[in-house]
Amino acid sequence: MRPSIFARILAGYIAVTLLLGAATALFSYSAIEKTYTRQLAGHLEALAYAVRAAAAPRLAANDAAGLERCVRALGAEAGVRITIIDPDGSVRADSEHDLATMENHGDRPEVLAALSHTNASFQRYSATMRERMLYVAVPLDGAGAPQGVVRVSQYAAVTSQMVAAVARHVVSVTFIATLAAVVVAALVARRISRPVAQLADVAHAVAAGNFDVRITLNRRDELRDLAEAFNYMTTRVKTLFAELTSRNGELNTILASIQEGLFVIDQTDRVILWNASFSRLAGVADPSGKRYWELIRDTGLDDAVQLLRTGKESRTVELQAGPRALLCGVSSIPGSSEVVVTLRDISDIRRVERMRKDIVVNVSHELRTPLTAIKGFIETLEEEHALADNRYLDIIKRHTERLINIVQDLMALSELEQKGECRREPADLATLLDNVRRVFDARLREKGLSLSVNVAAGTPPIMLDVCKIEQLFINLIDNAVKYTEQGGITVSAAPADGALRIEVADTGIGIPAEHLPRIFERFYVADKSRSRKLGGTGLGLSIVKHIVLLHGGTISVESETGKGTRFVILLPLA
């Protein structure tokens, strides 16, 4: 169990208080001991001078007995030991011991100090008294050198007893002060810890979802500021949580209403969010936590996700999940490693497209034979019956040829859509373009137009389906010839950034800007009256686009009305 903040604060206060109390007691004991020793030494020194004055007449009269009685009387009265010592260290009188049993005191430090006219006090062990004593010695003045030494001593135990008595009082006072400090510390710690505990309880309540709790502190300090800030934060969290709950509800409603399948995966490829439509498409009631490739088994989806994670842009791919055809969009969430995937079931659309293609192919096959027969009979009529006015026959012939062209283009487009394959072989583009140019020589001379072909030197052979690329150039140049009245057509090709850049430009009437986004749609023509007059089918550019896509390339168009049109094709070299 971890200690509470109250226990930690109280323990800190107690530790500091005990350290201060112990330091105070130790310092006080040392100071008192030094003070009492110093005072006792001063008292003994004063007493020594008094003894010197009393003993001086007897020393002068060489009265040993009188000196002994005087020393003993003064020592008993003062409660100290008095010793008279000659300069040579022999003891002449002592208030407590027999002179015959006493050793020479000439080596005693206090005696040596006094003989050198230095008053000093020394505390040391006495061999005579067998106890520790405090000694003070003063010299006996004489003519020149000292005539001896008066030494006064006292038991050190007296000082220790006095100091111990005072120390006991100091310790008692320190103990009482420490107890008082501990009580005060407990009150202070409680005053600090109680608001913190209240804040902790309220925080737990907020974490549990109760945003209505508040904390009130009747104090004026930083803890009150903290409580008020916490209450404000709780109010803001409640507001934000309500907004977030509302938005989550709206998001769930939106997700549920989306007809397309939608799911979000994290960086481990696991599904973390989905809608009901995706659950139906995947055939799993709860896809949460499952990897997306366990639910949608198509490598196209995995390729799109991996490309997106390597820094590529959002992608759209078509998947086949069992019998269903799905249009899949993959995009990233800004600032996150999560990926959003949308799935749209286009099975019905693809089925309708297949039906349409089948109808187109069947109708084309059914129309081709009678149209060919009609054209044959028209040509026979022209040969056998030289009519003066054959306007109606020319109209029939022109419309028949237009229908035949439409049928041929429809069959070619259907073949491109259904087979979707290229028989590639190394091809020299200059030779290919030269063959295409011969197809238009007569029409170019008839309209007085020029056709310039520029293939950059060093352009390598490229893997192409020669027949389809020839059809591409024929369609583009055919359009250019139809809609150009003066000037000419330019075809250029050159390697550029790992691709072959092909441009087909003319100086014709141009295409209005509003028509450019739709010109590659089948049957779409910008100028319907002119197209009918020139025999256009509206399928040529759609065929061109399919051929470019089959080769893995791209096509774009630039045009300005009255100045001409430029088609730009990029085909991969590798």
Q: Is residue 527 scored above 80 in pLDDT? A: no
Decide: helix, strand or coil at residue 404: helix
Q: What percent of the chain has pLDDT over 90?
A: 3
What does the alpha-carbon distance between residue 543 and residue 527 come to, in Å, rounded to a whole number? 19
**298-322 as b/e, with b when 16 or more CB fall inside 10 Å?**
bebbeebbeebeeeeeebeeebebe
Tell me what the pLDDT averaged over the chain comes to: 79
Give the pLDDT confidence score for residue 152 in this predicted structure: 86
Token pair belonging to 53: 């004055």
User: Which candidate, 127, 63, 56, 129, places its Cα nearest to that of 95?
Assistant: 129
Give the pLDDT confidence score for residue 368 in this predicted structure: 64
What does the alpha-carbon distance between residue 347 and residue 359 come to, in Å, rounded to a whole number? 18
Token pair belonging to 90: 């022999």
What does the pLDDT average to over 181-191?
77
Q: Is residue 536 scored above 70 in pLDDT? A: no
Each residue of 212-222: pLDDT tens digit?
A: 888 777 777 77
Give the pLDDT confidence score for residue 358 in this predicted structure: 67
Which residue(s) pair with 324 in the sheet? 321
Give the pLDDT confidence score for residue 505 in this predicted structure: 92
Domain 258-345 has CATH 3.40.50.1980: no
Give the pLDDT confidence score for residue 401 in this predicted structure: 66
What does the alpha-carbon distance between residue 438 and residue 421 come to, in Å, rounded to a whole number? 27
Query: Helix 391-419 and helix 347-384: axis angle, to 10°?
Result: 150
For the chain, domain boundaries: 5-163, 258-345, 350-419, 425-572
What does the alpha-carbon distance between residue 545 and residue 553 come to, in Å, rounded to a whole number? 9
Q: Assign domain 425-572 to a CATH class.
A: alpha beta
Would you say 425 and 463 are in contact if contact means Cβ atoms under 8 Å apart? yes
Give the pLDDT confidence score for residue 411 in this predicted structure: 65
Q: Quickly tell me which residue has 């100045």 as its tokens.
A: 563
Q: Assign domain 350-419 to a CATH class.
A: mainly alpha
Each residue of 61-81: pLDDT tens digit?
A: 788 888 888 888 888 888 888
Q: Regarding beta strands 488-496 and 499-506, do their DSSP bridges make them parallel or antiparallel, or are they unpaired?
A: antiparallel
Token pair belonging to 177: 């002060």
User: Which candidate, 395, 539, 411, 565, places its Cα nearest to that of 481?
Assistant: 565
What does the alpha-carbon distance between residue 170 and residue 25 come to, in Å, rounded to a whole number? 7
What does the alpha-carbon distance between residue 337 and residue 508 come to, in Å, rounded to a whole number? 51
Each residue of 391-425: pLDDT tens digit?
A: 667 667 666 766 666 666 666 666 666 555 667 88
| 219 backbone dihedrals φ, ψ, rounded to 5° | -155, 165
Would you say 289 and 309 are in contact if contact means Cβ atoms under 8 Å apart? no
Classify burial at 568, counting beta carbons within 10 Å of its beta carbon; exposed 0-12, middle 13-18, buried 19 or more.
Answer: middle
Higher-pLDDT residue of 338, 191? 338
Same topology for domains 5-163 and 258-345, yes or no? yes
Mark out the alpha helices in 258-272 (DSSP H runs): none
Return the number of other C-beta atoms located less than 10 Å from residue 177's C-beta: 14
Cβ-based neighbours of 343, under 8 Å, separated by 6 or more: 260, 261, 262, 277, 278, 281, 296, 319, 326, 327, 328
Give the pLDDT confidence score for residue 422 in this predicted structure: 67
Q: Is residue 177 scored above 80 in pLDDT? A: no
Give the pLDDT confidence score for residue 568 in this predicted structure: 92
Number of helices (H) and strands (E) in the chain: give both, helices first: 15, 17
Q: Regarding beta strands 324-332 and 339-345, do their DSSP bridges make them parallel or antiparallel, or are they unpaired?
A: antiparallel
Which residue(s) pair with 124 in the sheet? 133
Would you say 135 and 123 are in contact if contact means Cβ atoms under 8 Å apart? yes
Return the beta strands (E) in 37-182 as ranges: 81-85, 91-94, 120-126, 131-140, 148-155
Token pair belonging to 392: 């109606």
Q: Quickly tell me which residue has 């999940």 as its tokens.
A: 321
What does the alpha-carbon distance between residue 239 and residue 234 come to, in Å, rounded to a whole number? 9
Return the DSSP state at 103: P
Higher-pLDDT residue of 506, 131? 506
CATH classification of 5-163, choosing from 3.40.50.1010, 3.40.50.300, 3.30.450.20, 3.20.20.80?
3.30.450.20
User: Which candidate, 173, 151, 30, places its Cα nearest to that of 96?
Assistant: 151
Q: Is residue 210 scored above 80 in pLDDT? A: yes
Least confident of 93-97, 256-260, 362-366: 362-366
Would you say 48 and 152 are in contact if contact means Cβ atoms under 8 Å apart? yes
Token pair belonging to 241: 């949580």
Cβ-based neighbours of 272, under 8 Å, separated by 6 or more: 264, 265, 266, 288, 338
Least confident of 10-14, 94-98, 367-371: 367-371
Would you say 281 and 261 are in contact if contact means Cβ atoms under 8 Å apart? yes
What does the alpha-carbon distance between residue 530 and residue 118 come to, in Å, rounded to a whole number? 141
Which residue(s) pair with 499 in the sheet? 496, 572
Would you say 87 and 192 are in contact if contact means Cβ atoms under 8 Å apart? no
